[in-house]
Chain A
Amino acid sequence: MTARVATFLDLPAASPGGSVELFRDLYTGTEPLIPARAFMLDAVHNGPSAVPGLDLLAVDGKCIDEPGFTQYVTALHRALADVLDPEDVDVLHLQHLTFGATPALLRTLPDHPTIALVHGTDLLFAETHPDQLRVLRDTVRRADAIVVPTSAMADRLRTLAPDAARVVKIPWGIPDHLLAGPPPRRSSPEGRQRLLYAGRLTPEKGADRLTQALGVATNFTLSIAAPPHEFRALRPALHRAGLDVHYLGWLPRPELWKAFADHDALLMPSTTLEAMGLVALEAQACGLPVLYQPVPGLDETLGEAALPTGFTDPNHVAANLRHLAVSGLADDLRAAARANAARFPLSAAAASLSHLGDSLS
């Protein structure tokens, strides 16, 4: 019998980000790939979740550092204890190892086998926040298995938690139905290259670089799909750089996939480790060439199937865009993109996680 999972992501249900999408892809829905009691935060106390299979916990006072963190974990623990029956759970899937949900889940079900799934944000925060580094190390010590999506993540984890043992690499994936039926590509009526940035506009994603990176390129339009408050914060810099930007909003996945099909290239100017780069893989599944900064994680996931680009050098960006526009490179990259994305079906990730859970419980 498949192990019954309990898992908890310490974020409000509607939060943006790849981790949230992955969490929902794996554990929620009417027929989840991994049947689970899946929890997120109900930030505004809206009552029952609109997402099937997702339970919301109405706990206030989220924080990531002391003082306050211990108290917050206690509040999460109490909320979990009210709704989780230990008898109904075989294995814990810990997400975001440095934040409150993980110690709360461990405190609620201390004797259950645990799989710790390392996301990118955990490691980035642990590098700069002592309290979160402590939580990361505690979690790693207690986990029966630690899952990373790329070797780059394993390497970074070991620099932060040298005694991490039982590290298993299970690449994350993108929905099988996207791979089977991506939206049809639509060509440009204008003849200009349609560039797309999709994701959070945070420093680690290279948002600041974006404004300079396109300084030399010509004959393009830039669309941005990002959270609204982050776009508004970046907008003055875009304006100063003279970039004419079309803002798409923070799109739900099916609409984002359609946007992929309506553009000619995805830009990923990340400045540091990317856990996996799921947004790039989803773009590739839709036949969209990707220009990426070859940071750890992304180079492993994308490799030769996308175009490594130095986003700190506007001339390099312009040269790559020109090359993409006038040579047969775009067709080659589209074919390579689809083939690369097909290596990462989410069902395979779910099956591997379930198999690992069965071996522990």
Chain B
Amino acid sequence: MPSTTEHLHGLVTAGVNDGVYPGAVWAVGNADGVIDRGTTGLLDPTRSDEPMTPDTVFDVASLTKILAVWSTIGTLWQDNHLDLDEPLGQFWPDVAGYPLGQVNAHQLLTHTAGLPLRAQLKNLYGTNHDAIRSGVLHEALHRPPSQAVEYTDRAALILGYLAEYLSGEPLDHLATDRVWSPLGMRETRYGPLPTATVARCAPTELDEETGTHLKGIAHDFSARLLGGVCGIAGAFSTLDDLTVLLRYLLDPGTAATPPGFGPDWTRESLNVHTGSLEPARGLFWHPAPGTDPADQSWTHYGFTGTAMWLNPKQDRWAVLLTNKLYYTRDREPLATLRDQFRETVFG
């Protein structure tokens, strides 16, 4: 697709020239591999000798919800350790008798659980990890479940806690052992990153406390508060690792060693589960903005400027990793560019 390829290169480079992000790494492919990919711009605009490269490590922010939580919950579901429709209170003592006890995992995965909209962990529960966990699991609901689709970080945080309870393992260990290692995602891990890796990590937002841009430390405040590991955010990854995952989702035969979840979980997740409620969502994945769910263009974004798309109908995936947060929290410039990127790849 020569014209498409040319257009993608130009589009992503325009994002650098227009000040949307300092740099980006992207790829488009199918189950067989990469069709095209590119890099543009710099890790840090003030360091002209540090270009973005294919192995640049990104703080993927909410892609963590897919990489760590969706994948491990799928593993537990596949192993018949979790019934998505069973109220949590019936098998999870930590939430039995609390409002969260009436919620089920399906509602958490579709963001219809009625959870409070903001995390606000430190303000509400302090800094002790146990107190935060207890506070989150015992919190009141913002509305009855299944009434509205409201994206919340808390859903992923709770599912992360649930995965840890059911597996008896910390979330980072669980994700590494059951998903990332089997698939060969060697660069995917929770932060803080080891010193040797920090140099090729794309910096994100200015940290007021240190006066420097965060680099190798999760931008997400909740993740940092929780020591780097939680279901909300905190994972770092690379283009190649995300490629491996997306290829596996299109074709399980591409994995050298299968991870804990299989095609059943992928199929289950890439379907609209929110009925007549808007916006439509699958299980953590959601139809790309501006597309008809029937188009099967599924996506997830990360606040730091990351995104991945998956379209089983077209046998195509795409990844666009940027560090737009270096410049700004404004959503609009990158949102527009993401839509153009997605339209170019998937039509």
State yes or no: do A and B come from one complex: yes
The chain A residues found within 8 Å of chain B, CB to CB, are 13-14, 47, 49-51, 227-229, 231-232, 235, 239, 245-255, 258-259, 262
Q: Which residues of A contact B16 (CB under 8 A)?
A: 247
Q: Which residues of B contact A259 (CB under 8 A)?
A: 46
Q: Does B18 contact A (CB under 8 A)?
A: yes
Q: Does B301 contact A (CB under 8 A)?
A: no
Please count how many residues in chain B sit with their CB below 8 Å of the partner chain's CB atoms. Answer: 24
Q: Which residues of A contact B22 (CB under 8 A)?
A: 249
The chain B residues found within 8 Å of chain A, CB to CB, are 16-20, 22, 45-46, 48, 120, 122-123, 206-209, 211-213, 326-328, 330, 333
- 14 A-B contact pairs sorted by A residue (CB < 8 Å): A47-B122, A51-B209, A229-B330, A235-B19, A246-B48, A247-B17, A249-B326, A249-B327, A251-B46, A252-B213, A253-B211, A254-B212, A258-B46, A262-B46
B141 vs chain A, min Cβ distance (A): 22
When C-beta atoms are compared, the residue in chain B nearest to A231 turns out to be B19
Q: Are A249 and B45 interface neighbours, CB within 8 A?
A: yes
Secondary structure at the B interface, as helix, strand, loop or mixed, is: loop
Q: Which residues of A contact B17 (CB under 8 A)?
A: 235, 239, 245, 247
With A47-B122, A249-B22, A252-B206 known as contacts, the answer to whether A229 contacts B46 (CB < 8 A) is no
Q: Are A232 and B20 interface neighbours, CB within 8 A?
A: yes
- Number of residue pairs spanning A and B whose beta carbons lie under 8 angstroms apart: 57
Q: Are A228 and B330 interface neighbours, CB within 8 A?
A: yes
9 further A-B contacts with Cβ under 8 Å, apart from A227-B328, A246-B45, are A47-B123, A50-B207, A247-B19, A249-B46, A249-B326, A252-B206, A252-B212, A259-B46, A262-B46
Q: Which residues of A contact B208 (CB under 8 A)?
A: 13-14, 49-51
Q: Which among A47, A232, A254, A262 has the greatest number of chain B C-beta atoms within 10 A?
A: A232
When C-beta atoms are compared, the residue in chain B nearest to A24 turns out to be B208
Q: Are A248 and B46 interface neighbours, CB within 8 A?
A: yes
Q: Which residues of A contact B206 (CB under 8 A)?
A: 252
Q: Are B45 and A248 interface neighbours, CB within 8 A?
A: yes
Q: Which residues of B contact A246 (CB under 8 A)?
A: 45, 48
Q: Which residues of B contact A50 (CB under 8 A)?
A: 207-209
Which listed residue, B19, B46, B209, B211, touches A228 by the CB 8 Å rule?
B19
Give CA–CA (A228, B45) in the complex, Å.
13
When C-beta atoms are compared, the residue in chain B nearest to A44 turns out to be B329
Give CA–CA (A70, B123) in the complex, Å.
31
With A232-B20, A259-B46 known as contacts, the answer to whether A254 contacts B211 (CB < 8 A) is yes
B21 vs chain A, min Cβ distance (A): 10
Which 3 A-B pairs give the minimum distances between C-beta atoms? A50-B208, A228-B328, A228-B327
When C-beta atoms are compared, the residue in chain B nearest to A253 turns out to be B211
A55 vs chain B, min Cβ distance (A): 14
B249 vs chain A, min Cβ distance (A): 34
Give CA–CA (A245, B45) in the complex, Å.
12
Give CA–CA (A14, B208) in the complex, Å.
9
B103 vs chain A, min Cβ distance (A): 27
A117 vs chain B, min Cβ distance (A): 23
Give CA–CA (A123, B20) in the complex, Å.
33
Q: Are A229 and B328 interface neighbours, CB within 8 A?
A: yes
Give CA–CA (A255, B19) in the complex, Å.
17
A195 vs chain B, min Cβ distance (A): 15
Q: Which residues of B contact A235 (CB under 8 A)?
A: 17-19
Give CA–CA (A228, B327) in the complex, Å.
6
When C-beta atoms are compared, the residue in chain B nearest to A247 turns out to be B19
Q: Are B211 and A252 interface neighbours, CB within 8 A?
A: yes
